[in-house]
């Protein structure tokens, strides 16, 4: 992948290109007068197969004639949300009208992936634009104690945008290290409101170790209301704020629909989990004796309503046109997720563990009602957002993601490259429609995802040369990463 990265660097960020020139290369400039209410895109019911265009959707095509100012950037993550958990991605029993509307107003990606199969490594890949295995903290899958975290000296999306003149904030789940050594405010986000750990009980805010885990900056903040409601209010207030003419980046990281399986109003279930935590039950938050498909539906639909409230606040603020919104999940679905037809779940490098719903909306530059089948993954969004903001990565920390700005804004062919994943005990690499996979059985497998999205028809014996090529490509990339500690 390094050859593609160098090509990207030369084209978009290389040499002595400054922020202004990079912005011009991205097609940014003086903002034109836009219609105040661009079409929200076609209407229509959800597709029965998330790979197929829904009624009214068309194949993606860039509009190369538009120009705009540097956008505000809103990156929204669901937590453990599966690929087919939105009605616009095929869920038969979950209704997500606000996210479906977002898709109709922008581009729905069918072949989008998380940077890893669990929470914190994917966040590392999004925050840094690099494989999790390039940093010591990214080797934890996920971070579960205070010994690992995102090195505050490592450039991040937030620090690079801050230095380029953006206001930066993170609201919600951080999960890239704990105080006193690690914090969003040490890694480029000027404001932080949320939780540090991987999970918390939605009312009490007690984390995996029984600690209270709701902070404003680096100071505890007491609010015992339902967590999703709290961060939704905060995010709506942030996008509504007068930013004094400065563009902004907001990372909005929901914990919904991550366990424990508590919807708003489930105060009795909340109290029981809190009782168990305080009694020393270290696995109480895992809630392995609770939840249901119905409870999960309630949580996903609440996530949808919450995103809708933030987007409505953005619209009322008058900034909708010039705000680039990316919605995704940090990894594939878990126990109650609707993942059909994918195999595997969170923590696996099968498609069900890493393929995620992914939507982009930028009314000033990108038409609505479109679908893209281009394979993308989390670090690509880091590279893309830096380019559209008119800045570039740090030369000492080259990105593993490839910017999609040329594809989205200038009609360029997307880069042909490999997508690489590594977790303990598993490996995977996608090239075109072919996927090389080795699970915990230790057996190399090869799947044609165009014909076999469920990864059941192993083509390894029929395509030995291709299997060898993909295995060698995976091993070359792996050789450049940090080894796992023994």
User: What is the tens place of the pLDDT at every residue in 214-238?
Assistant: 999 999 999 999 999 999 999 999 9
Q: Which residue is listed with tokens 């539906």?
A: 297
pLDDT beyond 80 at 244: no
- What pLDDT, in 10s, does the model give residues 305-321? 999 999 999 999 999 99
The per-residue pLDDT for 451 is: 97
* Confidence (pLDDT) at 28: 55
> What digits encode the pLDDT tens for the residues 286-295?
999 999 999 9
pLDDT above 50: residue 348? yes
Beta-carbon contacts of residue 419 (< 8 Å; ≥ 6 apart): 113, 375, 377, 429, 430, 431
**Quick check: 13 and 22 in contact, CB under 8 A?**
yes
> For position 6, what pLDDT does the model report?
34
Residue 166's nearest CA partner among 320, 402, 390, 486 is: 390
Read off the pLDDT of each residue in 121-146 and give the average, rounded to a whole number. 97
130 CB-near residues (< 8 Å, 6+ apart): 124, 379, 397, 398, 399, 400, 401
Question: What is the predicted pLDDT for the residue at 53?
Answer: 81
Element (H, E) at 7: helix 2-8
Which residues are part of the catalytic machinery? Answer: 119, 175
Would the pLDDT of 55 be above 90? no
Q: Cβ distance 418 to 473 under 8 Å?
A: yes
Residue 461 has pLDDT above 70, yes or no: yes
Q: Is the pLDDT of residue 430 over 90?
A: yes
CA-based nearest residue to 2, from 482, 479, 483, 414: 479
Split at pLDDT 50, 70, 90, the class of 43 is very low
Q: Nearest to residue 250, comparing CAs of 365, 327, 341, 353?
A: 327
pLDDT of 22 reads 46
pLDDT at residue number 420: 98
Give the pLDDT confidence of 57-84 residue by residue, as tens digits: 999 999 988 888 899 999 999 999 999 9
């Amino acid at each position: 992948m390094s050859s593609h990265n160098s090509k990207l660097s030369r084209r978009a960020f290389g040499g002595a290109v400054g922020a202004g020139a990079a912005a011009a290369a991205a097609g940014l400039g003086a903002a034109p007068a836009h219609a105040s209410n661009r079409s929200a895109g076609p209407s229509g019911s959800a597709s029965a197969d998330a790979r197929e265009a829904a009624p009214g959707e068309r194949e993606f095509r860039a509009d190369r004639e538009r120009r705009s100012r540097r956008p505000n950037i809103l990156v929204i993550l669901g937590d453990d949300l599966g690929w087919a958990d939105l009605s616009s991605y095929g869920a038969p029993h979950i209704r997500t009208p606000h996210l479906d509307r977002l898709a109709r107003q922008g581009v729905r990606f069918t072949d989008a992936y998380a940077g890893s199969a669990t929470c914190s490594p994917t966040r590392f890949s999004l925050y840094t634009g690099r494989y999790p295995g390039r940093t010591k903290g990214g080797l934890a899958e996920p971070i579960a104690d205070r010994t690992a975290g995102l090195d505050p000296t490592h450039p991040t999306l937030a620090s690079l945008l801050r230095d380029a003149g953006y206001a930066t904030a993170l609201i919600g789940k951080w999960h890239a290290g704990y105080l006193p050594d690690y914090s969003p405010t040490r890694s480029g986000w000027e404001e932080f409101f949320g939780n540090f750990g991987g999970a918390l009980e939605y009312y009490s805010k007690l984390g995996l170790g029984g600690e209270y885990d709701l902070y404003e900056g680096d100071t505890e903040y007491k609010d015992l209301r339902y967590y999703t409601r709290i961060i939704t209010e905060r995010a709506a207030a942030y996008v509504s704020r007068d930013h004094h003419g400065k563009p902004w980046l907001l990372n909005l990281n929901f914990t919904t629909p991550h366990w424990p399986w508590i919807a708003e109003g489930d105060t009795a279930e909340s109290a029981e989990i809190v009782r168990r935590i305080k009694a020393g039950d270290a696995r109480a938050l895992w809630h392995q004796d609770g939840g249901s498909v119905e409870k999960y539906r309630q949580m996903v639909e609440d996530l949808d309503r919450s995103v809708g409230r933030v987007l409505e606040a953005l619209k009322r603020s008058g900034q909708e046109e010039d705000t680039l919104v990316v919605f995704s999940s940090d990894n594939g679905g878990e126990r109650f997720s609707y993942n059909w037809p994918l195999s595997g779940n969170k923590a696996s490098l099968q498609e069900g563990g890493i393929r995620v719903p992914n939507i982009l909306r930028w009314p000033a530059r990108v038409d609505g009602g479109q679908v893209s089948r281009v394979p993308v993954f989390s670090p690509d969004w880091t590279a893309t957002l830096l380019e559209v903001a008119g800045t570039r990565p740090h030369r000492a920390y080259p990105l593993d993601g490839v910017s999609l700005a040329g594809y989205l804004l200038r009609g360029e062919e997307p880069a042909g490259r490999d997508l690489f994943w590594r977790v303990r005990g598993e490996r995977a690499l996608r090239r075109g429609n072919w996927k090389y996979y080795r699970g915990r059985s230790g057996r190399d497998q090869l799947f044609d995802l165009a014909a076999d999205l469920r990864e059941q028809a192993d083509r390894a014996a029929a395509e030995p040369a291709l299997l060898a090529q993909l295995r060698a490509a995976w091993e070359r990339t792996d050789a450049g990463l940090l080894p796992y500690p023994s």
